[in-house]
Amino acid sequence: MTSHWEEFFASTSPPCDLEENKKLLKDFTNYHLHFRRKIVLVTSGGTTVPLEHNTVRFVDNFSAGTRGSASAEHFLEAGYAVIFMFRTKTLEPFVRHFMGQKFLDLLEINRSSDSTMVNVKSENIDNILPVLTQYKAIQERRQLLCLQFTSLPEYMWLLRAACESLSPYGPLAVMYLAAAVSDFYIPTHQMPTHKMQSDSGPPTISLQLVPKMLEPLVSLWIPNAFVVSFKLETDESLLISKARGALAKYKHKLVIANLLQTRKHRVVFVTPEDTQEVVLTEEEIQSGIEIESKIVLLLVAKHDKFIQEAV
Ligand code: PMT
Protein backbone atom coordinates (compact mmCIF):
# COMPACT_ATOMS: atom_id res chain seq x y z
CA MET A 1 0.00 0.00 0.00
CA THR A 2 1.39 3.44 -0.89
CA SER A 3 1.44 5.98 1.92
CA HIS A 4 0.14 9.56 1.75
CA TRP A 5 3.59 11.03 1.31
CA GLU A 6 4.37 8.66 -1.57
CA GLU A 7 1.08 9.65 -3.22
CA PHE A 8 2.04 13.31 -2.82
CA PHE A 9 5.29 12.80 -4.74
CA ALA A 10 3.62 10.55 -7.31
CA SER A 11 1.03 13.23 -8.07
CA THR A 12 3.22 16.37 -8.13
CA SER A 13 5.86 17.08 -10.76
CA PRO A 14 9.41 17.75 -9.58
CA PRO A 15 10.59 21.35 -9.99
CA CYS A 16 12.58 22.02 -13.17
CA ASP A 17 15.76 22.96 -11.23
CA LEU A 18 15.73 19.82 -9.06
CA GLU A 19 18.55 17.99 -10.87
CA GLU A 20 20.74 21.11 -10.75
CA ASN A 21 20.07 21.47 -7.01
CA LYS A 22 20.78 17.78 -6.42
CA LYS A 23 24.19 18.26 -8.00
CA LEU A 24 24.92 21.30 -5.80
CA LEU A 25 23.85 19.30 -2.75
CA LYS A 26 26.02 16.34 -3.69
CA ASP A 27 29.13 18.48 -4.28
CA PHE A 28 28.62 20.42 -1.05
CA THR A 29 27.91 17.42 1.17
CA ASN A 30 30.74 15.31 -0.32
CA TYR A 31 33.18 18.16 0.24
CA HIS A 32 32.35 18.59 3.94
CA LEU A 33 31.97 14.87 4.67
CA HIS A 34 35.63 14.56 3.81
CA PHE A 35 36.43 16.80 6.86
CA ARG A 36 33.78 15.05 9.02
CA ARG A 37 32.34 18.49 9.70
CA LYS A 38 29.03 18.93 11.51
CA ILE A 39 26.36 20.02 9.07
CA VAL A 40 22.90 21.56 9.36
CA LEU A 41 19.98 21.94 6.99
CA VAL A 42 18.13 25.14 7.90
CA THR A 43 14.74 25.56 6.23
CA SER A 44 13.35 29.08 6.24
CA GLY A 45 10.37 31.12 5.05
CA GLY A 46 6.86 30.01 4.13
CA THR A 47 5.65 27.82 1.28
CA THR A 48 3.00 28.94 -1.22
CA VAL A 49 0.11 26.82 -2.41
CA PRO A 50 -0.82 27.64 -6.01
CA LEU A 51 -4.52 27.90 -6.86
CA GLU A 52 -4.00 27.61 -10.65
CA HIS A 53 -1.46 25.71 -12.81
CA ASN A 54 -0.60 28.96 -14.58
CA THR A 55 -0.32 30.59 -11.20
CA VAL A 56 -1.70 34.06 -10.71
CA ARG A 57 -2.94 33.46 -7.17
CA PHE A 58 -1.69 31.39 -4.29
CA VAL A 59 -2.22 30.87 -0.56
CA ASP A 60 0.83 31.84 1.46
CA ASN A 61 2.20 30.72 4.82
CA PHE A 62 3.44 33.34 7.22
CA SER A 63 7.22 33.67 7.77
CA ALA A 64 9.66 36.51 7.14
CA GLY A 65 12.64 34.13 7.34
CA THR A 66 14.16 35.89 10.37
CA ARG A 67 14.44 32.70 12.44
CA GLY A 68 16.09 30.74 9.66
CA SER A 69 18.50 33.39 8.35
CA ALA A 70 19.69 34.49 11.80
CA SER A 71 20.09 30.87 12.95
CA ALA A 72 22.11 30.04 9.82
CA GLU A 73 24.61 32.78 10.72
CA HIS A 74 24.99 31.42 14.25
CA PHE A 75 25.49 27.84 13.01
CA LEU A 76 28.20 29.11 10.64
CA GLU A 77 29.85 30.89 13.55
CA ALA A 78 29.78 27.60 15.48
CA GLY A 79 31.70 25.91 12.63
CA TYR A 80 28.86 24.03 10.94
CA ALA A 81 28.54 23.62 7.20
CA VAL A 82 25.11 25.10 6.46
CA ILE A 83 22.57 24.28 3.76
CA PHE A 84 20.17 27.20 3.82
CA MET A 85 16.94 26.24 2.06
CA PHE A 86 14.84 29.36 1.84
CA ARG A 87 11.75 30.83 0.26
CA THR A 88 12.70 33.19 -2.57
CA LYS A 89 12.66 36.85 -1.47
CA THR A 90 12.70 36.13 2.26
CA LEU A 91 15.62 37.02 4.52
CA GLU A 92 19.05 35.53 3.80
CA PRO A 93 22.11 35.28 6.07
CA PHE A 94 24.43 38.33 6.01
CA VAL A 95 22.52 40.34 3.37
CA ARG A 96 19.55 40.52 5.77
CA HIS A 97 21.46 43.26 7.64
CA PHE A 98 21.41 45.59 4.63
CA MET A 99 18.06 45.16 2.94
CA GLY A 100 16.41 47.37 0.33
CA GLN A 101 16.83 51.11 0.34
CA LYS A 102 18.86 50.95 3.58
CA PHE A 103 21.69 49.41 1.58
CA LEU A 104 21.85 52.33 -0.86
CA ASP A 105 21.81 54.75 2.08
CA LEU A 106 25.11 53.24 3.26
CA LEU A 107 26.86 54.30 0.04
CA GLU A 108 28.07 57.54 -1.47
CA ILE A 109 29.19 58.60 -4.94
CA ASN A 110 32.57 60.31 -5.25
CA ARG A 111 33.24 61.98 -8.59
CA SER A 112 36.56 63.44 -9.63
CA SER A 113 37.75 64.69 -13.02
CA ASP A 114 39.02 61.28 -14.16
CA SER A 115 36.90 58.71 -12.29
CA THR A 116 33.69 57.97 -10.47
CA MET A 117 33.80 55.82 -7.33
CA VAL A 118 31.08 54.31 -5.18
CA ASN A 119 32.21 54.08 -1.55
CA VAL A 120 30.78 53.06 1.79
CA LYS A 121 30.19 56.21 3.84
CA SER A 122 32.83 56.33 6.59
CA GLU A 123 30.21 56.36 9.37
CA ASN A 124 28.85 53.01 8.08
CA ILE A 125 32.11 51.11 7.80
CA ASP A 126 31.88 49.78 11.38
CA ASN A 127 28.47 48.29 10.56
CA ILE A 128 29.43 46.66 7.29
CA LEU A 129 32.97 45.47 8.02
CA PRO A 130 32.26 42.66 10.56
CA VAL A 131 29.42 41.24 8.44
CA LEU A 132 31.42 41.45 5.22
CA THR A 133 34.52 39.92 6.86
CA GLN A 134 32.48 36.99 8.18
CA TYR A 135 30.73 36.53 4.82
CA LYS A 136 34.02 36.47 2.89
CA ALA A 137 35.54 33.93 5.30
CA ILE A 138 32.46 31.70 4.92
CA GLN A 139 32.70 31.94 1.13
CA GLU A 140 36.37 31.04 1.20
CA ARG A 141 35.68 27.95 3.33
CA ARG A 142 32.71 27.00 1.09
CA GLN A 143 30.71 26.70 4.30
CA LEU A 144 27.30 27.87 3.02
CA LEU A 145 25.01 26.54 0.29
CA CYS A 146 21.81 28.50 -0.40
CA LEU A 147 18.91 26.85 -2.24
CA GLN A 148 15.56 28.44 -3.02
CA PHE A 149 11.96 27.29 -3.13
CA THR A 150 8.62 29.04 -3.51
CA SER A 151 5.76 26.55 -3.69
CA LEU A 152 4.92 23.64 -1.41
CA PRO A 153 5.87 20.97 -4.01
CA GLU A 154 9.21 22.70 -4.65
CA TYR A 155 9.89 22.67 -0.89
CA MET A 156 8.97 18.99 -0.51
CA TRP A 157 11.08 17.77 -3.45
CA LEU A 158 14.07 19.80 -2.33
CA LEU A 159 13.71 18.66 1.29
CA ARG A 160 13.77 15.01 0.23
CA ALA A 161 16.79 15.58 -2.03
CA ALA A 162 18.63 17.34 0.82
CA CYS A 163 17.91 14.42 3.16
CA GLU A 164 19.32 11.95 0.61
CA SER A 165 22.56 13.93 0.41
CA LEU A 166 22.80 14.34 4.18
CA SER A 167 22.06 10.80 5.26
CA PRO A 168 25.76 9.64 5.04
CA TYR A 169 26.50 12.13 7.85
CA GLY A 170 24.51 10.08 10.38
CA PRO A 171 24.45 11.87 13.75
CA LEU A 172 26.69 14.70 12.49
CA ALA A 173 23.69 16.16 10.62
CA VAL A 174 21.10 18.48 12.15
CA MET A 175 17.75 19.10 10.48
CA TYR A 176 16.53 22.50 11.66
CA LEU A 177 13.05 22.74 10.17
CA ALA A 178 12.10 26.37 10.77
CA ALA A 179 10.19 26.93 7.52
CA ALA A 180 6.44 27.46 7.78
CA VAL A 181 5.12 24.61 5.67
CA SER A 182 1.57 24.54 4.41
CA ASP A 183 -0.78 21.98 5.92
CA PHE A 184 -3.33 22.33 3.10
CA TYR A 185 -3.07 22.27 -0.69
CA ILE A 186 -4.96 21.66 -3.91
CA PRO A 187 -3.84 18.40 -5.56
CA THR A 188 -2.57 18.85 -9.12
CA HIS A 189 -5.49 17.08 -10.79
CA GLN A 190 -8.02 19.34 -9.01
CA MET A 191 -6.35 22.62 -9.96
CA PRO A 192 -7.67 24.71 -12.85
CA THR A 193 -5.18 25.31 -15.66
CA HIS A 194 -5.90 28.99 -16.20
CA LYS A 195 -6.56 32.04 -14.08
CA MET A 196 -9.90 31.75 -12.28
CA GLN A 197 -12.39 34.23 -13.71
CA SER A 198 -14.26 36.58 -11.42
CA ASP A 199 -17.24 36.74 -13.78
CA SER A 200 -17.85 33.04 -12.99
CA GLY A 201 -18.78 34.16 -9.45
CA PRO A 202 -16.97 33.45 -6.17
CA PRO A 203 -14.92 30.22 -6.44
CA THR A 204 -15.38 27.30 -4.10
CA ILE A 205 -11.90 26.17 -3.17
CA SER A 206 -11.48 22.82 -1.51
CA LEU A 207 -8.13 22.26 0.17
CA GLN A 208 -6.75 18.82 1.04
CA LEU A 209 -4.43 17.91 3.90
CA VAL A 210 -0.73 17.86 3.07
CA PRO A 211 0.97 14.71 4.42
CA LYS A 212 3.32 15.55 7.30
CA MET A 213 6.75 15.02 5.78
CA LEU A 214 8.31 14.74 9.22
CA GLU A 215 7.09 11.18 9.30
CA PRO A 216 9.14 9.72 6.39
CA LEU A 217 11.94 12.19 7.10
CA VAL A 218 12.54 10.82 10.60
CA SER A 219 11.73 7.18 9.98
CA LEU A 220 13.16 6.65 6.47
CA TRP A 221 15.03 9.47 4.80
CA ILE A 222 17.52 10.46 7.48
CA PRO A 223 16.91 8.25 10.53
CA ASN A 224 20.24 8.89 12.32
CA ALA A 225 20.24 12.70 12.16
CA PHE A 226 19.42 15.10 14.98
CA VAL A 227 15.99 16.29 13.85
CA VAL A 228 14.58 19.52 15.27
CA SER A 229 11.12 20.61 14.19
CA PHE A 230 9.35 23.84 15.09
CA LYS A 231 5.81 24.26 16.34
CA LEU A 232 4.04 27.53 15.72
CA GLU A 233 0.80 28.28 17.52
CA THR A 234 -1.19 31.39 18.31
CA ASP A 235 -2.92 29.92 21.39
CA GLU A 236 -0.57 29.47 24.37
CA SER A 237 -2.76 26.74 25.89
CA LEU A 238 -2.09 24.45 22.89
CA LEU A 239 1.63 25.07 22.47
CA ILE A 240 3.28 22.46 24.69
CA SER A 241 0.69 19.73 24.17
CA LYS A 242 0.98 20.08 20.37
CA ALA A 243 4.79 19.95 20.58
CA ARG A 244 4.61 16.82 22.79
CA GLY A 245 2.12 15.30 20.35
CA ALA A 246 4.59 15.82 17.47
CA LEU A 247 7.42 14.17 19.46
CA ALA A 248 5.24 11.18 20.31
CA LYS A 249 4.10 10.78 16.72
CA TYR A 250 7.32 11.32 14.78
CA LYS A 251 9.81 10.13 17.46
CA HIS A 252 12.39 12.83 16.78
CA LYS A 253 14.61 14.59 19.31
CA LEU A 254 13.32 18.06 19.90
CA VAL A 255 10.55 20.51 19.10
CA ILE A 256 11.16 24.24 19.42
CA ALA A 257 7.78 25.69 20.25
CA ASN A 258 6.90 29.34 19.72
CA LEU A 259 3.91 31.63 19.67
CA LEU A 260 3.41 33.95 16.73
CA GLN A 261 3.05 36.94 19.05
CA THR A 262 6.21 36.39 21.15
CA ARG A 263 8.46 34.37 18.80
CA LYS A 264 11.21 37.00 18.72
CA HIS A 265 11.91 36.87 22.47
CA ARG A 266 10.62 33.53 23.77
CA VAL A 267 10.76 29.91 22.59
CA VAL A 268 10.43 26.63 24.50
CA PHE A 269 12.65 23.59 23.87
CA VAL A 270 10.35 20.59 24.27
CA THR A 271 11.75 17.04 24.57
CA PRO A 272 9.85 13.93 25.63
CA GLU A 273 11.34 14.40 29.12
CA ASP A 274 11.21 18.13 29.81
CA THR A 275 10.68 21.70 28.70
CA GLN A 276 13.22 24.51 28.77
CA GLU A 277 12.41 28.15 28.09
CA VAL A 278 14.78 30.34 26.12
CA VAL A 279 14.01 34.02 26.62
CA LEU A 280 15.56 37.39 25.96
CA THR A 281 15.59 39.84 28.85
CA GLU A 282 14.52 43.46 28.28
CA GLU A 283 18.20 44.55 28.40
CA GLU A 284 19.17 41.91 25.83
CA ILE A 285 16.39 43.08 23.51
CA GLN A 286 17.51 46.71 23.92
CA SER A 287 21.12 45.82 23.13
CA GLY A 288 20.10 44.08 19.89
CA ILE A 289 20.80 40.47 20.92
CA GLU A 290 18.87 37.98 18.80
CA ILE A 291 17.15 35.00 20.38
CA GLU A 292 18.64 32.80 17.64
CA SER A 293 22.09 33.20 19.21
CA LYS A 294 20.77 31.55 22.40
CA ILE A 295 18.77 28.92 20.51
CA VAL A 296 21.78 27.82 18.46
CA LEU A 297 24.15 27.82 21.46
CA LEU A 298 21.86 25.48 23.37
CA LEU A 299 21.21 23.34 20.33
CA VAL A 300 24.90 22.86 19.57
CA ALA A 301 25.42 21.56 23.14
CA LYS A 302 22.51 19.13 22.71
CA HIS A 303 23.79 18.03 19.32
CA ASP A 304 27.31 17.38 20.69
CA LYS A 305 25.81 15.20 23.43
CA PHE A 306 23.74 13.37 20.81
CA ILE A 307 26.87 12.68 18.73
CA GLN A 308 28.77 11.36 21.78
CA GLU A 309 25.91 9.02 22.67
CA ALA A 310 25.67 7.78 19.08
CA VAL A 311 29.30 6.62 18.77
O1 PMT B 1 10.52 33.49 9.87
P2 PMT B 1 10.02 34.20 11.10
O3 PMT B 1 9.12 35.35 10.77
O4 PMT B 1 11.16 34.55 12.02
O5 PMT B 1 9.10 33.15 11.89
C6 PMT B 1 9.65 31.97 12.39
C7 PMT B 1 8.59 30.86 12.50
C8 PMT B 1 7.51 31.30 13.46
C9 PMT B 1 7.99 30.58 11.12
C10 PMT B 1 9.35 29.59 13.02
O11 PMT B 1 9.89 29.84 14.28
C12 PMT B 1 8.41 28.37 13.11
O13 PMT B 1 7.72 28.15 14.10
N14 PMT B 1 8.37 27.54 12.04
C15 PMT B 1 7.50 26.36 11.91
C16 PMT B 1 6.11 26.80 11.51
C17 PMT B 1 5.23 25.63 11.21
O18 PMT B 1 5.09 25.26 10.06
O19 PMT B 1 4.69 25.02 12.22
P20 PMT B 1 3.64 23.81 12.10
O21 PMT B 1 3.14 23.62 13.47
O22 PMT B 1 2.64 24.11 11.01
O23 PMT B 1 4.52 22.58 11.61
C24 PMT B 1 5.31 21.87 12.52
C25 PMT B 1 6.42 21.09 11.83
O26 PMT B 1 5.86 20.16 10.91
C27 PMT B 1 7.38 22.01 11.06
O28 PMT B 1 8.70 21.82 11.54
C29 PMT B 1 7.26 21.53 9.62
O30 PMT B 1 8.55 21.37 9.02
C31 PMT B 1 6.58 20.18 9.72
N32 PMT B 1 5.61 19.97 8.61
C33 PMT B 1 4.62 20.88 8.40
C34 PMT B 1 3.71 20.66 7.39
C35 PMT B 1 3.84 19.49 6.60
N36 PMT B 1 2.99 19.25 5.62
N37 PMT B 1 4.83 18.61 6.82
C38 PMT B 1 5.71 18.83 7.83
O39 PMT B 1 6.60 17.99 8.06
Residue 254: closest CA among 211, 300, 311, 210: 300
Reported as a single tens digit per residue, the pLDDT across 28-55 is 999 999 999 999 999 999 999 999 999 9
Reported as a single tens digit per residue, the pLDDT across 250-294 is 999 899 999 999 999 999 999 998 999 999 999 999 999 999 999
CB-based contacts of 287, cutoff 8 Å, min separation 6:
none
Q: From the CA of 155, how far away is ligand 1's center (Å)?
A: 12
| pTM of the predicted protein model | 0.96
Q: From the CA of 233, how far away is ligand 1's center (Å)?
A: 9
Reported as a single tens digit per residue, the pLDDT across 204-232 is 888 999 999 999 999 999 999 999 999 99
Averaged pLDDT, 81-86: 98
For the CA of 66, the nearest atom of ligand 1: 4
What's the CA gap between 58 and 206, in Å, rounded? 13
Averaged pLDDT, 64-93: 98
For the CA of 62, the nearest atom of ligand 1: 9
Residue 83 has pLDDT above 80, yes or no: yes
3 or 250: which carries more pLDDT confidence?
250
What's the CA gap between 183 and 209, in Å, rounded? 6
Q: From the CA of 310, how far away is ligand 1's center (Å)?
A: 27
What pLDDT sits at residue 9?
Answer: 95
Helix or strand (DSSP H, E) at 87: strand 81-87
What pLDDT sits at residue 1?
Answer: 63
Residue 2 has pLDDT above 80, yes or no: no
Under CATH, which architecture does the 4-97+135-224 domain have? 3-Layer(aba) Sandwich (3.40)
What pLDDT sits at residue 31?
Answer: 97
What pLDDT sits at residue 311?
Answer: 79
Residue 188 has pLDDT above 90, yes or no: no
| Protein residue with least CA distance to atom 5, ligand 1 | 63
Averaged pLDDT, 161-166: 98
Cα–Cα–Cα angle for 282, 286, 287, rounded to 5 degrees: 120
Give the C-alpha distances (Å, rounded to integers) separating 275 from 31, 247, 297, 298. 36, 12, 16, 13
Averaged pLDDT, 118-141: 96
CA 153 to chain centre: 15
| Protein residue with least CA distance to atom 13, ligand 1 | 232
First to last CA, the chain: 35
Q: From the CA of 99, how far away is ligand 1's center (Å)?
A: 24
For the CA of 90, the nearest atom of ligand 1: 1
Residue 175 has pLDDT above 80, yes or no: yes
What pLDDT sits at residue 99?
Answer: 86
Domain ranges of the chain: 4-97+135-224
What pLDDT sits at residue 290?
Answer: 97
Mean pLDDT rounded to a whole number for the chain? 95
Confidence of residue 3 (pLDDT cuts 50, 70, 90): confident
Question: Is the minimum distance from the CB of 181 to ligand 1 under 6 angstroms?
Answer: yes
